[in-house]
């Protein structure tokens, strides 16, 4: 069978892509005349309604890597991938909206690193600002690389051409309209992603014969696998979590709930400026708190859009007469090809253009998110703080624009580095995972324990990052072959202290170790050092010293707590239905 | 700020939907095109859904604008 995919596009496909590009650039051009201050350019003038920031909040996270990666996980691990949404994202988003947003939005902080400066001290902010700035541009470079490789293999576009075109489009609309333009486009891109992938899910389910038939097919896959899983291992989320040997993810419930659900998800959704920036752009405290809660509503249903195609692809591969087969790579399925293969299999010219546009839109929403978060942290937390304090606002607006260009240029460079040395990128992602893992402990203590000190936070973060690196250096997934997967402290993946059943299990436990270490060290050092901030200074930054947001005039169904209950109930119901 | 995003979203989806639906309509009797999509005219269906969504967004946007203009006028009338 011919597993090479190559799309031939008709004029209609190009027309659809063209119309999308015109609108996306047009939004930037219209917004250009409103960009008169750095506050407007970098923070959208704190003027955007909650439903828009809410959709932008999840859209910026729905980059091309997520779309491709979630479908890949769907094929690799099955329906249990939903844990990333129903156990991972949703509780963290509820927590952000209810408890953490008041500190971000209510304090004078313009960014997450700046909050750390107000709450702790300069060195904690510096650590966070620099690591975040580097991380965001590299992340957008990696996703640019992924997209360009895809376009090269699918449509035969030149690698450099794809990179330049996609980067220039994102640059133009973020340079012209700043964060507002990025956010508005993210909403447009979100709807486009949904409408582009919905026909794929529809046709895929129809092709396989519906959810029940999909279950039967995947039961076959599970029973016949090398591990002889139970029949529902690919289509049930919780039932096989009692042991790491019983599910394709190779994780048990405790590691999953603590590692993914608590440490990693709360760390990402509650402290990553990339998403928090969207909520901070909202037009009121109420809107800011509702942002993640409104975003959570569609977020809960994304698994049906992005994970399901992967499962269908796996099922189709086992059907002898389906005419569909996942390509192989190093003896295993090449899971990252799920989305392009499925698009090519089901989409005739017309919707094919729409599907590719959706893929481009997802890439752009992710990249614009990175670029707008980078230029803010660079301008306020690095340039204004360390390099050129006390300049006019016009100067910082200019710097914000320059940082936008620089961010895109560095991303392009990172994409080429990724092309040259794949392992360098793996290595950098690993380092950033170490830096991110302990972060939530610092914020948790900072926001809810007024005694936490600057020294405590800084050394807590450092030791948490070190703990993550050490844990990773002493353990490895059982099938690891290179030191980038672990075991580098003992010099060989065969001599590790502990062998995890999967890479995912190792990641979750690395995060748990990092969090715990940071948590304990921050407490110990805080108790041993003097709190330099007075209670007056900590007002609005710490829970016990901050007046509760007033909600008396707010109609009950618009209150964050009410929204949170609705979101939680639906998430629980989804967990139970697909138990 | 400045623009109501529902308007450009509505306009884009209306145009994309119309283009796709018309293309689907023209190619409806060409079975080769729709062999891939299980003999379903997916272009026509998706196009119509997008057109519907786009028009709905446009309508909401225009109604809101009318309401706001009315409010502004009554404010200036009173003040």
Interface predicted TM-score of the whole assembly (ipTM), two decimals: 0.93
Selected residue of B10, B17, B22, B46 to mutate for chain A interface (largest A Cβ count, 10 A):
B46
Q: Is B8 on the interface with A (CB under 8 A)?
A: yes
User: Among partner residues B12, B37, B40, which is closest to A188 by beta-carbon distance?
Assistant: B12
The answer to whether residues A561 and A290 touch, using CB atoms and an 8 Å cutoff, is no
Q: Is B9 on the interface with A (CB under 8 A)?
A: yes
Closest approach of A506 to chain B, Cα-based (Å): 41
Q: Which residues pair with A122 in a beta bridge?
A: none
User: Among partner residues B3, B13, B20, which is closest to A30 by beta-carbon distance?
Assistant: B3
CA atoms within 13 A on the CB side of A4: 6
Is A19 within 8 Å of B16 when comparing Cβ atoms? yes
User: How many Å apart are CA A78 and CA A237, to the nearest integer?
Assistant: 8
Closest approach of A49 to chain B, Cα-based (Å): 10
User: How many Å apart are CA A476 and CA A494, to the nearest integer?
Assistant: 8
Q: Is B24 on the interface with A (CB under 8 A)?
A: yes
Q: Is B31 on the interface with A (CB under 8 A)?
A: no
Close Cβ partners of A324 (under 8 Å, ≥ 6 residues apart)? A313, A316, A317, A341, A345
User: How many Å apart are CA B74 and CA B59, to the nearest integer?
Assistant: 23
User: Among partner residues A20, A188, A207, which is closest to B38 by beta-carbon distance?
Assistant: A207
Is A45 within 8 Å of B13 when comparing Cβ atoms? no
Please state, in angstroms and as integers, the Cα–Cα distance from residue A115 to each residue in A50, A91, A282, A443, A521, following that order: 22, 22, 17, 10, 21
Cα-trace Rg, chain A: 23
Residue A20: both structure tokens together: 């999308």
- The DSSP code sequence of A76-136 is HHGGGGGHIIIIIIHHHHHHIIIIIHHHHHHSS-SSHHHHHHHHS-HHHHHHHHHHHHHHH
Q: Is A18 on the interface with B (CB under 8 A)?
A: no
Residue A567: both structure tokens together: 């979101």
**Number of Cβ within a 10 Å radius of residue A8:** 9
What pLDDT score was predicted for residue A1?
37
Low-confidence ranges of chain A (pLDDT < 70): 1-5, 422, 425
Please state, in angstroms and as integers, the Cα–Cα distance from residue A298 to each residue in A95, A190, A204, A304, A478, following that order: 17, 10, 21, 11, 37
What pLDDT score was predicted for residue A2?
40
User: How many Å apart are CA B74 and CA A529, to the nearest integer?
Assistant: 62
User: How many Å apart are CA A134 and CA A378, to the nearest integer?
Assistant: 10
| Helices (H) then strands (E): counts for chain A | 26, 4
User: How many Å apart are CA A274 and CA A292, to the nearest integer?
Assistant: 13
What pLDDT score was predicted for residue A400?
96
User: Among partner residues A19, A184, A354, which is closest to B15 by beta-carbon distance?
Assistant: A19
Is B3 within 8 Å of A40 when comparing Cβ atoms? no
User: How many Å apart are CA A15 and CA A268, to the nearest integer?
Assistant: 37
Tell me what the pLDDT averaged over chain A comes to: 91
| B50-63 residue pLDDT tens | 999 999 999 999 99
What pLDDT score was predicted for residue B76?
65
User: Which residues in chain A are closer than 8 Å to B49, comparing Cβ atoms?
Assistant: 195
User: How many Å apart are CA A518 and CA A437, to the nearest integer?
Assistant: 9
Reported residue count of chain B is 79
User: Among partner residues A27, A48, A180, which is closest to B8 by beta-carbon distance?
Assistant: A27
Closest approach of B6 to chain A, Cα-based (Å): 9
Closest approach of B77 to chain A, Cα-based (Å): 27
State pTM to two decimals.
0.94
User: Among partner residues B5, B43, B53, which is closest to A348 by beta-carbon distance?
Assistant: B43
Residue A382, H or E segment? none
Q: Give just the sign of the alpha carbon dihedral B35, B37, B39, B42.
A: negative
User: How many Å apart are CA A76 and CA A407, to the nearest integer?
Assistant: 34
User: Which residues in chain A are closer than 8 Å to B41, comparing Cβ atoms?
Assistant: none
What pLDDT score was predicted for residue A310?
95
Which chain B residue shows the shortest CA-CA distance from A25?
B8
Q: Is A194 on the interface with B (CB under 8 A)?
A: no
Q: How far is CA A466 from the centre of its chain?
A: 23
> Does residue B78 register a pLDDT over 70?
no
Q: How far is CA A320 from the centre of its chain?
A: 36
What pLDDT score was predicted for residue A313?
95
User: Which residues in chain A are closer than 8 Å to B61, comparing Cβ atoms?
Assistant: none
Is A195 within 8 Å of B36 when comparing Cβ atoms? no
Q: Is B5 on the interface with A (CB under 8 A)?
A: yes
User: Which residues in chain B are closer than 8 Å to A342, comparing Cβ atoms?
Assistant: none
Which chain A residue shows the shortest CA-CA distance from B20?
A350
Closest approach of A141 to chain B, Cα-based (Å): 28
Q: What is the DSSP letter of A36?
A: -
Residue A323: both structure tokens together: 């005419």
Close Cβ partners of A486 (under 8 Å, ≥ 6 residues apart)? A472, A473, A474, A475, A476, A477, A480, A493, A496, A506
Q: Is B60 on the interface with A (CB under 8 A)?
A: no
Is B20 within 8 Å of A26 when comparing Cβ atoms? no
Percent of chain A with pLDDT over 70: 99
User: Which residues in chain B are closer than 8 Å to A27, comparing Cβ atoms?
Assistant: 3, 5, 8
Which chain A residue shows the shortest CA-CA distance from B10?
A188
């Amino acid at each position: 069978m011919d597993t090479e995919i190559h799309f031939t596009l008709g004029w209609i496909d190009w027309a659809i892509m063209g119309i999308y590009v015109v609108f996306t650039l047009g939004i930037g051009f219209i917004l250009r005349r409103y960009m008169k201050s750095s506050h407007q350019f970098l923070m959208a003038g704190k003027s955007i309604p909650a439903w828009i920031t809410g959709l932008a909040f999840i859209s910026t996270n729905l980059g091309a890597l997520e779309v491709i990666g979630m479908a890949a996980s769907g094929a690799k691990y099955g329906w249990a991938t939903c844990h990333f949404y129903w156990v991972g994202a949703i509780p963290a988003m509820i927590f952000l909206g209810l408890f953490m947003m008041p500190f971000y939005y209510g304090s004078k902080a313009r960014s997450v690193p700046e909050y750390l400066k107000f709450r702790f001290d300069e060195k904690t902010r510096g650590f966070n600002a620099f690591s975040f700035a580097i991380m965001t541009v590299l992340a957008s470079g990696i996703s640019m690389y992924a997209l360009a490789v895809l376009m090269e293999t699918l449509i035969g576009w030149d690698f450099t051409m794809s990179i330049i075109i996609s980067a220039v489009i994102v640059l133009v609309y973020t340079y012209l309209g700043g964060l507002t333009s990025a956010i508005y486009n993210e909403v447009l891109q979100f709807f486009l992603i949904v409408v582009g992938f919905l026909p794929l899910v529809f046709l895929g389910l129809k092709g396989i014969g519906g959810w029940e038939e999909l279950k039967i097919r995947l039961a076959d896959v599970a029973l016949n696998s090398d591990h002889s899983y139970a029949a529902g291992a690919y289509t049930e989320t919780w039932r096989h979590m009692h042991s790491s040997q019983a599910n394709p993810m190779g994780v048990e419930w405790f590691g999953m709930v603590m590692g993914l659900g608590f440490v990693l998800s709360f760390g990402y959704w509650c402290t990553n400026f990339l998403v928090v920036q969207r909520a901070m752009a909202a037009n009121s405290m109420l809107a800011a708190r509702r942002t993640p809660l409104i975003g959570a509503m569609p977020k809960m249903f994304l698994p049906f859009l992005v994970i399901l195609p992967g499962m269908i692809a796996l099922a189709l591969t086992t059907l002898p007469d389906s005419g569909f087969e996942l390509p192989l790579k190093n003896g295993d399925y090449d899971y990252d090809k799920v989305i392009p293969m499925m698009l090519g299999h089901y989409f005739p010219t017309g919707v094919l253009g729409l599907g590719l546009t959706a893929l481009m839109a997802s890439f752009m929403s992710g990249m614009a998110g990175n670029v707008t978060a980078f230029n803010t942290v660079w301008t306020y937390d690095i340039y204004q703080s360390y390099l050129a304090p006390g300049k006019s606002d016009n100067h910082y607006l200019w710097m914000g624009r320059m940082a936008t260009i620089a961010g895109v240029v560095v991303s392009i460079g990172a994409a080429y580095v990724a092309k040259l040395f794949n392992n360098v990128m793996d290595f950098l992602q690993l380092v950033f995972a170490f830096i991110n893992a302990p972060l939530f402990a610092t914020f948790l203590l900072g926001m809810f324990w007024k005694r936490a000190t600057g020294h405590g936070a800084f050394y807590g973060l450092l030791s948490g990052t070190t703990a993550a690196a050490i844990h990773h250096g002493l353990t490895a997934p059982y099938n690891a072959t290179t030191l980038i997967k672990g075991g580098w402290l003992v010099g060989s993946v065969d001599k590790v202290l502990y062998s995890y059943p999967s890479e995912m299990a190792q990641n979750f436990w690395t995060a748990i170790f990092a969090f715990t270490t940071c948590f304990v060290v921050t407490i110990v050092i805080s108790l041993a050092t003097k709190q330099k901030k007075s209670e007056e200074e900590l007002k609005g930054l710490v829970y016990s010293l901050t007046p509760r947001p007033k909600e008396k005039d707010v109609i009950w169904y618009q209150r964050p707590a009410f929204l949170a209950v609705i979101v939680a109930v639906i998430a629980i119901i989804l967990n139970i239905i697909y138990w | 700020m400045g623009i109501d995003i529902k308007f450009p979203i509505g306009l884009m989806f209306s145009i994309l939907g119309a283009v796709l639906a018309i293309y689907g309509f023209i190619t409806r009797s060409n079975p080769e095109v729709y062999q891939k999509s299980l003999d379903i005219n997916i272009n026509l269906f998706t196009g119509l859904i997008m057109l519907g969504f786009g028009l709905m967004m446009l309508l909401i946007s225009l109604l809101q604008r009318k309401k706001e203009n009315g409010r502004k006028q009554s404010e200036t009338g009173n003040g």
